[in-house]
Amino acid sequence: MDVEEALKFTDNLALTTTGKHLDSLQKAILRGAWDNQKYKEIAEQHHRSEKYVKEVGFKLWKILSSALDDEKLCKANFRAKLENLRVGNVSLVGNGCIHIGNISAESLHSPEVSQSEPQDKDKFKEKASNSEPQVHLDLSDAPEPNLFYNRTSELTTLKQWILENRTRLITIYGLSGIGKTALTLQLIPQIQHEFDYIIYRSFRNSPPLPTLQTNLIQFVSQQQDIELPSLIEHLRSHRCLLILDDVQTIFSSGQLAGHYQPGYENYGTFFKQLAESSHNSCLILLTWEKPREIAALEGENRPCKSLQLNGLGAEAGEIFREKGLAEEEKWSQLIDLYRGNPLWLNIVATMIQDLFGGSVSEFLSYDTLFLGDLECLLHQKCDRLTESEKQVISWLASEAEPVEISKFSANLELSRSALLQAVQSLGRRLLIEKVKQGDKTLFTLQPVLMEYLKNQH
């Protein structure tokens, strides 16, 4: 077994015991252990504190020790133990797609088993052939899973929709960086044994619908050695989980939320067909904005559901711990200001380290919220808005307190219908926040967006 095989094996082991893939730091620790590196060296290479890397390593050895029933497994003997191990039917099939069946680990305590002869091999083959049906997994387009905290309730909801309610179309929508992709990558190992095929595709290059369909059919046909006439036919005859990420790239910039770009309108019909026609599969869309036809399709007992992903709560403090920030008592203030958005919190934590040596109070002592690298992300987001949406948010940025919608009309030169459409669309993009005050609904902007817009004037 070489280091790559060892990593693949260990990753599968972690997946089957904890339901999660190894993250990039855990993999770095395993590689380091394989090459006999010290924690200090691994920490330096990965820009983490030595203390933190040791903590992650300690937890990792605990997980692997219990999975392999070997209390003595540790960094020093990881390589030797794994080299004495035999791996079951984990195979790579082109394009980074992995077939996972049962993983077979012969006892770590008995190196003689690994040198054992034919009868043991037959025993092993038998084990492999008795294994559960294989899932054809194609995550070649997905990013590496990273550190991940919480999201237990979201994962429970999604599992219930998929496994119990047999929901056919799920839209997970939320701001950029809120964790849609990360959440979905956590979900996959927890439900993968329920599916024949799991395919992840990113829309970062905005594929036209026929291109996507051909690509999916090709993947599925290669696995089966037959030509399949249509995607929907395959979704009927097999249980597939199809994940389409970055769906907002097929929506128009400069139009209200959820409008398709010219040439992409047929996606609307495709999504509707997958939600309404009978099949055993599930389509998950990850997007900044909900497609417009989805609202009409969803409901309590309908096979179409949406999950609005909001920020992390106090557990986001783990991001600050990992970055080595000081003054834990101030962390909740930061989490609230940046609305628990893990990408924003990572950016801010790096900024606090770079500029204030990790002191949160020094950062907070500035009157204005410092945006740094967030400015560019917010610019991209605001650039997509219509002129009427831009007017609404610029005006809201000048209001210190949340306001009622009736006040908008008095201050903006927009027709009533244009105003309501703009406010609704901004809500769909999650750029404005609603505040309940008695029986009134008031509107305001997120602090980060407020700051960005103030800086524009």
Ligand X SMILES: Nc1ncnc2c1ncn2[C@@H]1O[C@H](COP(=O)(O)OP(=O)(O)OP(=O)(O)O)[C@@H](O)[C@H]1O
Q: Could you say which of Mg ion, ligand X, none residue 154 binds, taking C-beta under 5 to 8 angstroms by partner kind?
A: none
Binding span for ligand X by CB under 6 A among 179-187, 410-418, 425-433, 444-452:
179-187
207 binds ligand X (CB under 6 A): no
CA distance 253 to 380: 10
148 interface partner picked from Mg ion, ligand X, none, CB below 5 to 8 A per type: ligand X
Q: How far is the CB of 346 from ligand X (least distance, A)?
A: 6
Site size with ligand X, rule: CB under 6 A: 20
430 CB burial (10 A radius; 0-12, 13-18, 19+): buried
Residue 292 and residue 258 in contact, taking contact as beta carbons nearer than 8 Å:
yes
Residue 237 CA to residue 240 CA, distance in Å, equals 9
| DSSP-assigned letter for residue 432 | E
Place of tokens 């008095």: 410
Q: Which stretch, 129-137, 145-153, 163-171, 264-272, contacts ligand X (CB under 6 A)?
A: 145-153
Considering only 65, 102, 176, 273, the residue that binds ligand X (CB under 6 A) is 176
Distance separating alpha carbons of residues 175 and 445, to the nearest angstrom: 14
User: Shortest Cβ contact with ligand X: which residue?
Assistant: 179
User: Strands of 440-445's sheet, edge to edge?
Assistant: 403-404, 440-445, 432-437
Q: Please calculate the CA angle 17-21-22 and round it to the nearest 5 degrees.
A: 105
Shortest Å, Cβ 309 to Mg ion:
10
Q: Which of 8, 81, 180, 234 binds ligand X (CB under 6 A)?
A: 180
Q: Report the amino acid identity of residue 132.
A: E
Chain contacts with Mg ion (rule: CB under 5 A): 181
Give yes or no for residue 151 binding ligand X (CB under 6 A). yes
Is residue 199 a contact residue for ligand X (CB under 6 A)? Answer: no
Closer to ligand X by Cβ: residue 9 or 288: 288
Binds ligand X by CB under 6 A, chosen from 3, 113, 147, 232: 147
Q: Indicate the burial class of 324 (C-beta count within 10 angstroms; 0-12, 13-18, 19 or more).
A: middle
Cβ 37 to ligand X shortest distance, Å: 24
Contact call for residue 158 and ligand X (CB under 6 A)? no
**Other C-beta atoms lying within 10 Å of the C-beta of residue 192:** 15
By CB under 6 A, tell whether 343 contacts ligand X: yes
Distances (CA, A) of 102 to 129, 157, 286, 334: 9, 27, 30, 44
Out of 77, 102, 107, 146, point to the residue binding ligand X (CB under 6 A). 146
Nearer to Mg ion among residue 181 and residue 346 (C-beta): 181
Which residues lie near ligand X (CB under 6 A)? 146-151, 174, 176-182, 246, 288, 312, 319, 342-343
